A and B are shown apart, each in its own frame.
Chain A
Amino acid sequence: MKKRKIQSLSRKIVLSITLLSLFALIVIFTVFEKINKEAFYNIEMEKANLIARTIEPLIAINLYLGLNNDKIKEISLQLIKNPNILAVKVMQYNQILSEIKSMEYDNNIESSFIVNQTVYKPNSQEKIGSLVITYSNQNYKELTKKYTNLTLTLLFALGALFALFSLYVKKLLSPLRKIAKSLKNYSPDREINFPYISQNNEIGLISNALNDMQEKIIQYAKKQKNINQFLEEKIDEKTIELRRQLYIDTLTGLPNRLSLINDIVGVREGALLIINIDSFREINDFFGHIAGDNILRKFANRLKSMFDDVKYIELKRLSGDEFALFFMKKPSLEHLTQTAQKLIFDVEKMIFFHENNEIAIRITVGGVHQIDGALEKADIALKSAKKQHKSFLLYDEKLNIEEQYKENMEWVKKLKKAIRQDKILPYFQPIYDNKSDKIASYECLIRLIDSDNNVISPYKFLTIAKKSRLYNKLTKLMIKKSCQHFENIDNDFSINLSVDDMLDPEILAYIQQNIKKYNVAKKIIFEILESEGIENYEEISVFIDELKALGCRIAIDDFGSGYSNFEHLLKLNIDYIKIDGTLIKNLDTDKNAQIVAKTIVDFAKRLNILTVAEFVHNEAIHIKVKELNISRSQGFYLAKPQEKLKHS
């Protein structure tokens, strides 16, 4: 690295002063030289003039009185005694009366002044002659020489003085260099002994100030060091705590999901059981979150005590109501299954207390007997068990659950695309009156037209639509398009509604809006799926009343498939019962189905409710339907759902 060149302050100061002074001196010297030389010249000239003026009256009176020339010569001789006067010449009217030259005249004639003094008649201005004095400039030369020498001596003296002054300033400022040098490698860890502290001047003040500053810095550094040490300790503590929190669940003190993930990565073989407390949300809602947390803690402790002795099984808490048993060694499939089943059995016997309330819980367990993708697979198994209302399910590759998940995701994409591209359409299947064999109404059935223009049935996407919250949009589309379609067609038509649709105030408002808009209140029939299990009868009743007030009609779809009871159905004030297809499809041969169907028809007739047979897929069934006095028929035997209306 190139060393930084220090520009000496002292040198700068002295150089500046020297240059400035030198300039001033040169200017003064030049000006004075000129002025003084001129002054010296003038002095000498004045002296010569003075002599001339002094002697002139005497010459004048002699000339005037016309006495003899001896007197004038006498005066001239007296003048010539002055060593500076080289010659005296007296003239009267251009005639030389007297001319006397000194011995030095010839030597000095070149460097002399000539003073020509006019001689006037005494007591008059009349010119009567002239006096010419040749005056030596020797004096002037000597004076200027002396002056020049003196000035040069002065300059030399000043130069020497500045040199000394420079050295003095340098000496004065040298402590600053020493201080700077000592400061150069300053570090708070290393104390510097500043020189010149005892000096009673500015350097001393600077040294003292730096020393004070150093002490403060040292104190501050010590404080900082202590603070840093303290902070480091705190950070270490917090790091440990955070690390603990990262892997430990704060509520139960059990290792958490992240810990499980790490453990799974760290072993080659193993197994996993995921435990989910059934309907734990209800416990939280009913008893409160504090009670819920309390139960989770107690549940965790009991699980812990159950598996405390088994070293290769580690208990984890994955999320709110989900726990896991991680087998760090691969157990036999039988042992894994037994462990799960014993766990389920033991938990069912567990009773938790909260404010004198006994709370019992049930669990669902999903298991996996392999380590590869254990968490995901156990989770799939758990979800499948829940879906299948089983308390335990072991993950099986044959379930092809993963593929289903992928397919579901693809369907969500397709659905979104279809909605975006307006490819969700109503298809219309006629419902025939069994007495007249004419079309009584049409059921509007949802269809998705895919990118290859294939017509996709709703069983492929409706469940996925419900999970992905697209169902609401599909319902709205069907309501709008169906109402729009039948606006100017004089036929009844029906639309399917789920329980969720009926419980959604937004859907109710949308239906009301479209019915009014397209004026189809008298034509529209809403089919409510009985198979979904209507539980909130009061809310459904309110919904139906709202629509019936507009003049709409209501049908119960898939009647006989659910657990609805007739008493509740009566309250709903329905107009149609559509008998479930499972009863109709074998109606021609299944005696039991015939009995159930007949019971439904009888029941409906008493209530003045029309009945509709679905799934009429052949002639025999159609005949049987008619025999049983079912009011209307619908099925592929009679007509398939079509994009356009089929007229009878």
Chain B
Amino acid sequence: MRILTLLFILHTFLFGYNYNDMLLKAQASIFPKIMMLDKKLEEKLIDGKIVYTIVFDEEDHDTALRISEFINKNYKNNFDKYSYKINLVKFTDLSIDTNASIIYMLNSNKDIKKVADIAKQKGIITFAYDINNLKNGLLFSLMLEKSTVLYLNKENLHTQKVDFVDSLLQMVKFIDKGNS
């Protein structure tokens, strides 16, 4: 039993977090679309492109890469009329200077609040793989329950640089301190 526990710890340490592939794909499919529902998306373009920044821990590089490939395969270099670029950034490399139109945060044990603060400063949308990270200031997450459910951190919505279509807000489930 001790060996199994040790193997699991080692595996996690060596090979990173064990992501739900279905969830990853669902998020990779839906989060760009949600990003497109931002009425102020134009303001967030960098060199006329959407920079879809995926922040990950070092050990999740492969996961980030797979997500990147999945997106490219699905969207074929364009989110609607916008061309995009996927920017894979290690958590440790993330700074205010990192190019990003949105930030998709994979799972991490680190201080997620840093991501939330940078996003807040940049006024960009953040998506979290893990719904729990919404507590740390990230904006969206998606869960596969009986049906696909979008979660939104109501506390983090109040940024002047983000303005979603109303219908999006009608279909999301809100997370706040009270019902977290």
Contacts and interface: CB of A to CB of B under 8 A. Distances in A.
Interface of A: 57-58, 60-62, 64-68, 70-71, 122-124
B171 A70 contact: no
Size class of the B contact interface (CB-based, 8 Å): 10 to 19
Given A60-B167, A64-B33, 5 more contacts: A57-B167, A61-B165, A65-B150, A70-B146, A122-B165
25 contacts: A57-B165, A57-B170, A58-B167, A58-B170, A60-B167, A61-B37, A61-B167, A62-B171, A64-B33, A65-B33, A65-B150, A66-B30, A66-B33, A67-B30, A67-B147, A68-B148, A70-B146, A71-B147, A122-B37, A122-B165, A122-B167, A122-B168, A123-B36, A123-B39, A124-B80
Contacts of B147: 67-68, 70-71
A71 B37 contact: no
Contacts of A68: 147-148
Nearest to B80: A124
Interface in B128-180: 146-148, 150, 165-168, 170-171
Interface in B13-38: 29-30, 33-34, 36-37
B36 A58 contact: no
B37 A123 contact: yes
Q: Which of A58, A62, A65, A71 has the most CB of B within 10 A?
A: A65
A123 B165 contact: yes
A65 B34 contact: yes
A57 B37 CA distance: 12
- 5 tightest Cβ-Cβ pairs between the two chains A and B: A57-B167, A61-B167, A122-B165, A67-B148, A70-B147
A142 B48 CA distance: 58
Q: Which of B30, B166, B171 has the most CB of A within 10 A?
A: B171
A251 to B, nearest CB: 137
Nearest to A56: B167
A70 B148 CA distance: 10
A208 to B, nearest CB: 81
Contacts of A71: 147, 171
Nearest to B29: A66
Interface of B: 29-30, 33-34, 36-37, 39, 80, 146-148, 150, 165-168, 170-171
Contacts of B146: 70
Nearest to B163: A123
Contacts of B171: 58, 61-62, 65, 71
A58 B150 CA distance: 14
Contacts of A58: 167, 170-171
Contacts of A60: 167
Contacts of A64: 33, 37
Contacts of A122: 37, 165, 167-168
A79 to B, nearest CB: 14
Nearest to A59: B167
Nearest to B41: A123
Contacts of A123: 36-37, 39, 165
Given A65-B34, A123-B39, A57 B29 contact: no
Contacts of B37: 61, 64, 122-123
A58 B39 CA distance: 17
A595 B118 CA distance: 202
Q: Which of B29, B34, B150, B167 has the most CB of A within 10 A?
A: B167
A61 B30 contact: no
A70 B34 CA distance: 19
A61 B168 contact: yes
Contacts of B166: 57
A54 B85 CA distance: 35
Given A58-B171, A122-B37, A65 B165 contact: no
Nearest to B170: A58
A498 to B, nearest CB: 152
B79 to A, nearest CB: 12
A244 B111 CA distance: 160
A122 B36 CA distance: 9
A122 to B, nearest CB: 5
A87 to B, nearest CB: 22
Contacts of B168: 61, 122
Contact of A65 (B30, B80, B170): B30
Contacts of B80: 124
Contacts of B167: 57-58, 60-61, 122
A340 to B, nearest CB: 157
A123 to B, nearest CB: 5
B162 to A, nearest CB: 13
A580 B166 CA distance: 170
